[in-house]
Structures are given as structure tokens and as C-alpha cells.
Structure 1
Amino acid sequence: MEQKKGIIILMGVKFSFSIVQSSRALYIFKKLKEQFPDTYIIMRKNEEEKIGWENLIQVKPIVPISGKFRLLKNIFVTIQMTLLSLWHIVSKRVGYVILRGYETILLYPFLKILNIKIYTDYHGKSKQEYIQQKRHLRALFVNNIERLSLYLADRIIVVSNGVMTQIQEYKDKCIYIPNGIDIDAINGTDHACSIKLPDNKKIIGFIGNWEQFMKIEDLCECLKYVNNCIGVIVGEGYKADNIMDKYGEAENIIFTGKLLREDVYALLHKFDICILPYDKNDKHSLYPDYFSSRKAKEYIAAGKPIIVSEVVGRESWLIENQNCLLYESGDPKDLAEKIGILLNDEELYDKMCTNNRELSKIFIWDDIIDQSGLIEDIRGTKI
């Protein structure tokens, strides 16, 4: 049988297990490389975090992105990475390419001419985020690029059933690969927690990027209504400066900023309850089973009980009173009440911890990819 050669390409992120997009690509790459040794991955170079794997191609931007004229610099770096990607595609004579992000659109015409199979890793309509930010010109631009990339793709990798409902016209091209987790990395770490926490407080935590559909304010506000608790919020993102300015002086809230994966997992094991504060007013929340956040799966792998906002888009596998409690999005008093229920019901608390550890086993990366049909599709044994 002919050996399949392929390249995974992400232009907008660095190599890192601490970045969701990068981590997802690295785990898919690791699994595919076991089956197809001539598999490569291209992303931006990370000077801080070293990953010693073969076939990793790190690209250092010729022009540093930071400082003024960032948009112009990003365009220049995108062109740089496009040209370098094309060189590797041609020189290595690959048969398939997995792409993520609208920055890769310049590759599509060349891939079609070269008759290379295109897999697009698609995570939902980006235009909605830009519309909510009132960046309408950017929304129009990105929407047209995404529509073209979906049309030209031979296969579309989707991260959730909710994402698939957004592109029903392409459902026959879709391959379902939700975000997975590395249970051994989460529970096997002996890394010391770098954040000092009080010993006499219950820890209510959140980890991950603050996506636009996360209502971090719910967690911050609810701490006004609970006793003997402290909130620990890891990461940053949408409206981070405003939120930190508003709540940064609160005695019972700790903002850690971005942390490396080992620090995150060490801190996660200190949490008593984990929160998924989805915003009911965000359009993503309206699609059933839309969200497939890595943080939710990391929570359950660590055996933590979860409180999640009751929105249509929340993870369907989080069952009320089995894996989680539900609260009304935008109602911090309701969230505080649910925290109190969990902390005062030892039987319910322990049941959720046990259930969630068991549930996490279905989200192991290797199993998810094996069950997706991606490997068979690359081999050409699945239509």
C-alpha cells in the first residue's frame, strides 16, 4: 500500500500545549504520525516552550508581530508562511493537507491545482464573533473566506455537533473530531502549584481562554454572595482588561493570567468546583451541543464537579445532577446558590467526582481519532 504523506498547517498560533488550537493540532499530528510516518506539522516558532518531536517545522516570523502596525505585520507573516508551506508541500510530495484558520486560504488554489486532498479543521462561523464586536467589515471579509474554504475542502473536520448544524449543506463532507484530553498529563503531574492559595477557603475555579461566549463576570459577581470561598480565574481573553480593572482589587478573586500547561494542571487539582459560564446572549449558545471546550474535559478528568450555565449550546454529555449543576446565565446569585448546594451536599459532590472521572475516559485523544474515521479516510478506505 502506498505510504500517505501529509502536512498539518496552522499559521496563526505557536507550538504549545498551553494553546488550545496548537494543542489540538499537536495531538492529531502525533496520532497521524504513528500511522503515516511522513506526516509533518507547520506552525509559528515558540521561543519559550520547547517540543522535541520529529517532523515539527517551526517558522520564525521575519518581522516581529509585536508593536505598531500589527495587522500589516500579520499579513507579511501569513505570506511568509504560505510560501514556506507551499515549498514543503511540493518538496515532500504530500497527498493530503489539514488546514485551520482563514489565514490558510491562499493555499487552497495551489492545492487544487496540485490535486492534493484538503481537510479543513472547522470550528464554527467566525463572523458571529466579529459582528458581536461590531467589526462588520472584518466579519464580511472572514465570512467570504470561510465560505470559499468550505466549498473547496474535500473533507471538513468539525469539533461539535453544533458546529455541524451551521453547515448542513456540507454534512456529507464532515468528519467529527471533538476536542480530546491527555488524562495522564492531567493526573500524572507532580508539578508544584505556583499560585499561593489560602488553606481555609474553598476554591471556585475557571481555566482557559476567555472566549467571547464566556461570561466571566458571572463567576466574579457570584463571589459576593458565597462565604468562605475564593475564585481563581486562569487565562485571559475577551474584555480581560475591563474585567481585571473591575474585579482586580477584590480580596476573594485571583487572576493568574496565562500559565503553562503544568501550572494549570497543578492548580486545577486545588479547585473544589469548576465553572463553565457560557453567555446565553451569545449566538453560539443557541446551537444545540455547540460547545466542545477542552476545559470542560480537563475538569472532569481531574474529577471535579461542574456548574454550567443552562444554555442550549452547552455540552450534551454533562447531565444535571450526575456530572453538573445548572445555573441561569447572567444570574450570579443563582450561581452562588448552586455553589452552596454542592458544597453542602457531600453525597452529591462525591457522586459527581466519581461520575466525571469515569466520563473523561471517552475523551482520550487516541480513541477519539481512531473512532472518527479520519485515518481510514486518509488511506482511501472510507468514502
Structure 2
Amino acid sequence: MLQKNEQDEVVLDNLIQIKPIIPIGGKLTLLKGILFRLQMSLQIFHFLLSKKIDYVILRGYDTIILFPFLKVFDIKIYYDFHGRGHLELYQQKRFLRGHVVKWSQKIILKHCDNIIVVSDGIKSQIEEYAYKCIYLPNGVDVDKIKSIDSECPVNIPEDKKVIGFIGNWEQVMKIEDICDSIDYLKDVVVVIVGQGYHYEKIFNKYGQKQNIILTGRLEYNLAISLLKRMDICIVPYDKNFYMSKVKDFFSNRKISEYLAAGKPMLIADIEGIPGYLKENVNYIKYESGNPEDLANNADHLMNNPELYSKISHNNKILAKEFDWEQIVKKSGILEDM
């Protein structure tokens, strides 16, 4: 849980930490996880009553536990919806949990007061509730990114071009495409900042490969300093993942950061590319699962100064529309509260 604090950033001092009474590790982790959720719910109930809270923003199917209490005390519920989670679980063949998520979300969507969506593609999955959706895409602090001047934490020769990725990647990201593209590129270094799905497997396969740098997680300022060193940023969606097949589904924070840094992008050829991005205006498309095509497009962009400059300029302009202040203002969420 978060609480208001004089500091502008989220740090441990303005987090209310809830620790499990029973350690969750070891045997019976599912049962211990359920007990911990109940413990969290009781502490949340106490916090809401003691602070006389009027509004809550919830995310996750397990927040259904809170709904009876919130309804009894007439606390307005904003649900942060990020897609039909059960479809992802079905794709992973986790059918039991998928059914639980499916029916929990049905109840949540029906009984919440408003639904926060980050993209038109996500909204299209719940057309029956479009009337209570609030469009609030992922934003970025443009001025903060511009002002960061930290020393680059990785020593990269000045004569090398850099293509890369920052952010914690999800299952929908095909990081291997970026790593394998180095086999088709000359005088280029691949830099990937962050961790995520199958990180150890990817690190073991590519961590010692020449001209590939996997930094793991970095402090924000250092990550942005590396972003500024990149010549091209890659958004490596996997075309076989269910979310990739939903038109305009994605609204990733990393894309907003790439825009704010004025970086040209290569994005995998999926339906889910954010609708506000235009091909050959803000990005160039490559074939998902084809690292050679990624490399060819990166080489084309780096050797076409006019196109490179145009896309960089367009992205700096577009980034202004995704400054947090502008996004919140356009969403109308403050007027609704």
C-alpha cells in the first residue's frame, strides 16, 4: 500500500509494508499465499477505516476479497484492468488458475465503479463496460528524462553503434530476437537493461557472447543514461502471444521512455502495436522471430541519416502527449473523483 508523503518519489518511507505472519517459502505455498492475502485484506480494511478513505484503485483478480467490505462502506472502486488475464494462463496451460481469474474478473468488472484502461485494445476486450472506462495510458516524466546526466555505467567504445532495450520484460517479449541479431551486424553492441521472463536461461545463453551486454536491473538514472547512449531501441514482441494479436493492445512505459529520449524504434510486426505510433513516422517494423530482419532494418535506419533524424524528431514531439500531467488531465479521472 502507498501513503502520501512529502517526498516526490516512492521509497520505503512512504510504503506501508505488510509482512506475512507465516513465511510463504517451503511447503504448502499455495495455502500460505491464500492466508497472506487474507492477512493483507484485514490490514487494508483497518487502514481504509482508520484513514476514512473515499476512493481506492485496485489491480489483480485477488482483490475480489475486498469488494464486500468496500461496497458496505460505500468506498468508490477504480479497477486497473490490464486485459483478460485468464487467456494468458490458458496459453500457459494453467487452466485451473485461469478459470479462477476469469470468473473473479467477471465479478470485479461488473461491480467496480470505474475501470482504468491503458489502451484501446484492452478496452475493446470489455465493450460491455465501455461506459465506465477511463483511458489512462502509461506516461513518462519527459523533463526528468531530459535532465538525467548520470555517467554511463557501461564502457562502450565511441565508434560502436548501440541497439537495445530497457525494462523488465514479460513473457510477451522475445528478447532472443535482439540477442541473435548481433550475428548479422557489424560495429554494433546490443545492450539489454533489466530482467524478466526466463532471465537466467537468456543470461546463460548470451551473457558471454561478444558485443552483447546484459546489465540486469539498474537504478533508474543509470538505466536512462544507457538509454541515451542507444542509437536504436527495440520493442521485441512475440507475434505468437495472445496479447500481440489484439489490435492496439499495448501501452508500455518503455515506449514512452524511448519517445522522451527521442530514440527511433524497431517494433515487431504484431497487431498489438499502440495505435498512436505510426510506421515510418515513429518506428520501423521488423518480422517477429526473425533476428536477421531486425538486423537489416537496424542497419538501414542507422545508414539513413535523413530517416533517422526525422523519426527522432517526431518521437520527441509525440513524447509531450505522454507527459504524466497531460495524460491525467486528458483522462478526466480527477474530475470524476
TM-score band w.r.t. shorter chain: over 0.9
- Give the TM-score normalised by structure 1: 0.82
Query: The residue matched to 1:180 in structure 2 has which SS?
Result: coil
Within 5 Å, give how 1:291-306 maps onto structure 2: 291-306=250-265
Q: Secondary structure at the match of 1:224?
A: helix
For structure 1, which runs of at least 5 residues remain unmatched after alignment?
1-8, 10-14, 16-39, 43-48, 379-383
Equivalences for 1:159-308 in 2 at 5 Å?
Answer: 159-308=118-267
Verify: 1:78 aligned to 2:37, yes or no.
yes
Say which of 271, 274, 278 aligns to 1:319.
278
Cα distance in 2, alignment partners of residues 157 and 195 from structure 1: 38
After the TM superposition, which parts of structure 1 deviate over 6 Å for at least 4 consecutive aligned residues? none
Q: What is the identity, as a one-letter code, of the residue corresponding to 1:287? A: V
Q: Is the 8 A contact 1:65 1:74 kept in 2?
A: no
Quick check: 2:161–2:230 contact (8 Å CA) kept in 1? yes
Which of the residues 22, 26, 34 maps onto 1:68?
Answer: 26
Are residue 130 (structure 1) and residue 89 (structure 2) matched? yes
State, as a whole percentage, how many aligned pairs show the same letter.
46
Q: Which runs of 5 or more structure 2 residues have no equivalent in the other structure?
A: none
Question: Which shows bigger deviation, 120-129 or 337-346?
Answer: 120-129
How far apart are the structure 2 equivalents of 1:369 and 1:171? 19
Partner of 1:114: 73
Partner of 1:3: none
TM-score, reference length from structure 2: 0.93
Shift of 1:65: 6.4
- Post-superposition Cα deviations, 1:236-292, rounded to whole Å, max 9, x if no partner, equal 111222222222221121111111211111111110100011111111011111100
Shift of 1:94: 2.0
Q: What RMSD, in angstroms, separates the aligned Cα atoms of the two structures?
A: 1.9
How far, CA to CA, are the matches of 1:83 and 1:169 in structure 2?
A: 32
* Alignment length (residue pairs): 332
**2:174 maps to amino acid:** K
Q: 1:64 to 1:212 in 2, by over 3 A?
A: farther
- How far off its partner does 1:73 sit? 4.4
Aligned partners of 1:310 and 1:328 also within 8 Å: yes
Match of 2:47 in 1: 88
Q: Distance in 2 between matches of 1:198 and 1:74?
A: 48
The answer to whether structure 1 residue 98 and structure 2 residue 43 are counterparts is no
- Structure 1 residues 360 and 67, CA, compared in 2 at 3 Å: closer, same or farther? same
Separation in structure 2 between the aligned mates of residue 206 and residue 153 of structure 1, nearest angstrom = 36
**1:4-28 CA-partner distances (Å, limit 9, x unpaired):** xxxxx5xxxxx7xxxxxxxxxxxxx
1:50 and 2:15 aligned: no
The offset of 1:67, in angstroms, is 4.3
Does the CA-based 8 Å contact 1:306-1:324 persist in structure 2? yes
CA drift of 1:63 comes to 4.5
Question: Compared with structure 1, are the counterparts of its residues 41 and 239 closer, same or farther at alpha carbon in structure 2 (3 Å cutoff)?
Answer: farther
Change (3 A) 1:76 1:196: farther
- Cα distance between partner residues in 1 of 2:92 and 2:189: 31
Structure-2 residue corresponding to 1:45: none
Q: Which amino acid aligns with 1:168?
A: E
